Amino acid sequence: MDLGAGLDTASAGAPAYSTSETSGTSLDLGSSDPVTPPGGTSLSLDAPSGAVAPAASSSRHTLPAKHDLGLPTIHADERRLMTEHEPVVELTRMQSAAGALEARVAVANPSEVVLGTVFETADGRESLVLPGLAQQGPDPRSPIFRATSSGVAVNLRHIRGINRFLIFAVPTRPTKQMPGGTVAVTTYGRARLELPLVAGPSLGAQALLTAYVVEGRLVLRAEHDPYSGTLQQVTAAYGYRELSWRDPYTPLV
């Protein structure tokens, strides 16, 4: 189990431009002293869960480390509003591997906003998908992430090729005004997480959902970030610093 890549980069998750209000709201898996995010959820990777390997020690097979994350879970067909009070959901290994995780935006005028995803692959490379810029990544011939005008999708058949990702919204009007609405994130089993998209002025991009792969399970967190920024600022604030930029709104892809 290689938690290293995901954890180290995750520790950079506190937005650089943020005030103390927002620091610590990201999943800080790297800290040796796990933070307790709002809502009382706690990620402790120190102690293995009660599950002990069976006595069949003569087996040539071994189980990987398995830690009980103790986070809220969601079942098939369940619908959950991701509140500031309870912003985190842990998917099962099967939920983290079945079909696609899809994020779709529901607003009055869908042409006013698009969704994009910045991600880090298991081999430590960062890249980004955004409609009109790069529709598929990291390899367009075998994409894991796809972005269309209606939303983004993560092909979970390749969950093992992912360390982490961030789904963000970009308003399309020249005024950069963000429309109000909802972003719905659904699993293959139609579990549905709903995140508010808050209307108001923006600096160009708004972080919505962070995702980390922890021992084969996706841990999803609604960010409820009070700050927007340029796309470059937002991705950097969540620890994606390996991208190159044409301008603060446009990465080189």
Partner 1 sequence: MSPMAKGANIALRRELPDLKGVVVGVSWNTGGERSLDDNLALLTVLVGADGRALSPEHLVYFNQLVSADLSTAQLEQALGGDDEQVEVELDSVPDEVAKIVFVLYLSEGGGSSRTLGQLRSLVVRLLNLDGGASIISTVDFAGGLGNETALKLVELYKHNGDWKVRALGLGYSAGLAGVAKEFGVPL
Q: Rank residues 18 and 155 by Cβ distance to partner 1 and give the closer one.
A: 155
Q: Rank residues 152 and 197 by Cβ distance to partner 1 and give the closer one.
A: 152
Min dist. Cβ of residue 55 to partner 1 (A): 10
Q: Rank residues 73 and 172 by Cβ distance to partner 1 and give the closer one.
A: 73
3-state secondary structure the chain: CCCHHHHHHHCCCCCCCCCCCCCCCCCCCCCCCCCCCCCCCCCCCCCCCCCCCCCCCCCCCCCCCCCCCCCCCCCCCCEEECCCCCCEEECCCCCCCCCEEEEEEEECCHHHEEEEEEEEECCCCEEEEECCCECEECCCCCCCEEEECCEEEEEHHHHHHEEEEEEEEEECCCCCEECCEEEEEECCCCCEEEEEECCEECCCEEEEEEEEEECCEEEEEECCCCCCECHHHHHHHCCCCCCCEEECCEECC
Min dist. Cβ of residue 17 to partner 1 (A): 34
Q: Which residues bind partner 1 (CB under 8 A)?
A: 51, 53-54, 56, 58-64, 75-76, 92-101, 141-143, 146, 153-160, 187-189, 216
Min dist. Cβ of residue 39 to partner 1 (A): 24
Q: Rank residues 8 and 215 by Cβ distance to partner 1 and give the closer one.
A: 215
Min dist. Cβ of residue 144 to partner 1 (A): 9
Q: Rank residues 188 and 245 by Cβ distance to partner 1 and give the closer one.
A: 188
Min dist. Cβ of residue 16 to partner 1 (A): 33
